[in-house]
Amino acid sequence: MADSRIRLGIDVGGTFTDLVVCDEGAGLLALHKVPTTPQDIAQGLLTGLKKTGVPAGAFAEIAHGTTAATNAVLERKGARTALLTTEGFRDLLELRDAGRRGLWGRQSAFDPLIPRHFRFEIPERMDARGNVVLAPPGEALAGVAARLEGEQIEALAVSFLHADRNPAHEKQAAALLGRSRPDRPVVLGSAVAPFADERLRTATAALAAYLSPLMRAYVAGLARVLTASGVGAAFRFIESAGGSSTPEEIREQPLRTILSGPAGGAMSGAALADLLRLPTAVTADMGGTSFDVTIIEAGRPGLTGNRRLEFGLTVAVPAIDIHTAGIGGGSLIAIDEAVPDGIQVGPESAGARPGPACFGLGGRKPTITDAALLLQRLVGVREDLGLRPLDREAAAQAMLAEICPMLNLEPAAAAGVVLEVAEARMAGFLGTQLAGRGVFPGEASLIAFGGAGPVHAAAVARRADLRGVVVPYLASGLSALGCLLAPPAKSAMVSVDEPLASLSPERLAACLEAAFPGRTGQGRLRLELVLHRGESRYEDLLPVRDLRESAEARLRRYHAFTERAYGIRPSPEAVRVARLLGVLEEAAPSLPLASLLEGTFRRRREAAALGRPEGRPDRYPDGAAGSGQGVPTRPVESLPIGAPAVGPALVVLPGATAYVPPRTSYHVDRWGNLWMEAKG
């Protein structure tokens, strides 16, 4: 429907798939949740589409975060891929950086994406300046071409030494080997990661080739399923850098979707921080399986150039700087028997199936959600979400079976121990990320979302000494909303290799032009400088906020960062700009977020005032699972805007519950955001 203004954002999480329907005509947002179907994502999407109640043909646009690429890596279900390297270096993928799986214990073997017998060496060489030392003989390439055919190779990566300085040999090899099978993807290291570090370049090229056929098939398959269902909407994928891409772009550059799942939440968090004029914020997206933290400064999330997918596999992909801890609502709780009262929370999760014990889907092991329910931090009856009532008794039984004997405590008391540990871990993790970015906790507000984030937000903020807490109205659908907020964008990384102290605006402009040829004036830029300091193998990131900023001013900003993060002012000679990392947002986000949120919240409040909250019960009994006692329960729509109140309280949001601890003041704003103070 060409004139439709209904858009749909979809976030496929480990436990739930969230769908946010945005009806710009009506000025409304609506959230829907369906269980994730890991075996068949498309099927889950269709179920979700039906649940929205919107005719399939009515959508103008669908934006989607996909885990298909990430899952293919984890399950090693990518293409049959070969790798061409410089002679003597075919094991780069397997040698990694000599890191270990962990500091302790057994170190089991590593399984590279491309097995050794599909890694071919070519006698060629460039020197460190990019001068030709040995040209690749045609017969060697021809021999490999024959092998590729014989082995039925579906995709090819080419990565030669010093190709960042001179990619001629890579291009020569690609031209020859691509000639025989034009349909077979050929990925060059110098194209996907044009800077020094052959390990990163080779891994990135290998992964891009490995995913390419699969993502082509995924995009085509999804289009087929949606078309068959009557969906004619334009489809976009959210990228890991927070932009969005067309299916055609994803077919060509599948790496853009790697680990893109949490990017939607970060984009929403940034938009909210901007709307609420929070100079520094930290988003905590806690769903069923993970706790994702992003630091937002001046309304923008930071970027990073490297992403670690798993042990031994780090690739160069521009991405929002998101840090993940394996702790979520579904995280399993286990006893650590070596330690008195020792408890381990996560990283294993109960996932979508069987889920926490209280979901009543067969789970027998206790999770954080079970503990929260037992402590009356969750509303147990959420028929509005299509969920069956949470089973408090099952949660107690799980706790009794697994945890209580060790602690010698009743289930509720044991649940208290579990949450103390879990929240201490979250707060510590959050504090570590803030320290790493040189941010004082007292300056940062916590934007907590995801299904479980609002439950723990106040306690975590208090422990981490943060400024305050904001729980967005659509907390459990923020990642899906973020898919709609992600503008069409291009991302790039280019080599700079210049001292920070001498990086002039002109030189920066030249690098920018190299990153986005002919397009630098055509959108909003998010840029970071990747810095190398002294002999450190770590990289610092410095956002570029003004292209005209002088080198001296930029150095002063960097010193401000290092003083806060490390307590030092490094000598200017020791700091080099290694790379420029950028995202070019080709269009501003077209979603009028403020008016949509305000309109939605107003409409809900009006409905609540009439005693008919849409799809929600008239009232929630106090306490969990209708126990009728304990923590007062308040739908957020029933709270007067701006009027302060004091906890304890359970504030019911669409799809989530926020827990306000005792003696904590809170209020709601006109957009439906719940504000809590961090100090109780």
Interaction with other proteins in 436-455: which residues (CB under 8 A)?
436, 438-442
Q: How far is the CB of 459 from other proteins (least distance, A)?
A: 10
Instruction: With CB under 8 A as the rule, give the number of residues binding other proteins.
Output: 84
Q: Does 663 bind other proteins (CB under 8 A)?
A: no
- Residue 458 CA to residue 460 CA, distance in Å, equals 5
Site for other proteins in 185-224 (CB under 8 A): 196-200
Amino acid at 187: V
Task: Determine contact, residues 319/292, Cβ cutoff 8 Å.
Answer: no
Strands 674-677, 468-471: parallel, antiparallel or unpaired by DSSP?
antiparallel
Half-sphere CA count of 65, side-chain side, radius 13 A: 35
When asked if residue 57 is in the footprint of other proteins (CB under 8 A), the reply is no
Site for other proteins in 150-189 (CB under 8 A): 161-162, 164
DSSP 534-545: TT-SSEEEEEE-
Nearest to 671 by CA among 295, 294, 268, 243: 268
Q: Which of 127, 310, 393, 606 binds other proteins (CB under 8 A)?
A: 127
To the nearest whole angstrom, how small is the minimum distance from the Cβ of residue 355 to other proteins? 24
Rounded to a whole number of angstroms, the minimum distance from the CB of residue 318 to other proteins is 20
* Candidate residues 50, 57, 76, 128; the one interacting with other proteins per rule CB under 8 A: 128
- Strand 313-320 and strand 303-310: the pairing is antiparallel
Among the listed residues 2, 3, 75, 104, the single contact to other proteins using CB under 8 A: 104
Of the residues 25, 279, 362, 534, which one makes contact with other proteins according to CB under 8 A: 534
Examine residue 562 and tell whether it contacts other proteins (CB under 8 A). yes
Q: Among 100, 519, 663, 679, which residue interacts with other proteins (rule: CB under 8 A)?
A: 100
Q: Quick check: 417 binds other proteins (CB under 8 A)?
A: yes
Q: Toward other proteins, which CB reaches closer, 60 or 424?
A: 424
**One residue of 50, 76, 77, 101 binding other proteins per CB under 8 A:** 101
C-beta closer to other proteins: residue 162 or 490: 162
Q: How far is the CB of 582 from other proteins (least distance, A)?
A: 23
Q: Report yes or no: 205 and 188 within 8 Å, Cβ to Cβ.
A: yes
Q: Return d(Cα 157, Cα 434) in angstroms, integer.
A: 37
Residue 279: CB partners within 8 Å, gap ≥ 6?
Answer: 297, 298, 443
Closer by beta carbon to other proteins, 65 or else 136: 136
576 binds other proteins (CB under 8 A): no
Residue 300: phi and psi, rounded to 5, are -130, 140
Q: 227: part of which helix (H) or strand (E)?
A: helix 198-228
553 contacts: CB under 8 Å, gap ≥ 6: none
Measured from the CB atom, is 110 or 387 closer to other proteins?
110
566 interacts with other proteins by CB under 8 A: yes
Give the pair of three-digit tokens for residue 337.
């028997």
User: Does the protein bind other proteins through residue 610 (CB under 8 A)?
Assistant: no
Among 224, 308, 564, 619, interactor with other proteins by CB under 8 A: 564
Question: Alpha carbon of 100 to those of 108, 311, 506: distances in Å?
Answer: 9, 8, 42
DSSP state of 445: E
Annotate each residue in 366-405 with x if it binds other proteins (CB under 8 A) or - if it does not, as one string. ----------------------------------------
Site for other proteins contains 225 (CB under 8 A) = no
Residue 125 or 216 with smaller CB distance to other proteins: 125
- HSE of 557, CA atoms in CB hemisphere, 13 A: 18
Enumerate the H helices of 241-280 as residue ranges: 247-252, 263-275
565 binds other proteins (CB under 8 A): yes
Query: What value, to the nearest 5°, has the Cα angle with vertex 622 and ends 379 and 413?
Result: 70
* Strands of 155-159's sheet in order across: 119-122, 81-86, 155-159, 186-188
Rule CB under 8 A: which of 243-302 touch other proteins?
none
Which of 431/451 has CB closer to other proteins? 431
Task: Decide if residue 410 touches other proteins (CB under 8 A).
Answer: no
> From the list 246, 324, 344, 638, which residue makes contact with other proteins (rule: CB under 8 A)?
344
CB of 260 within 8 A of CB of 424?
no
Residue 336 within binding range of other proteins, rule CB under 8 A: yes
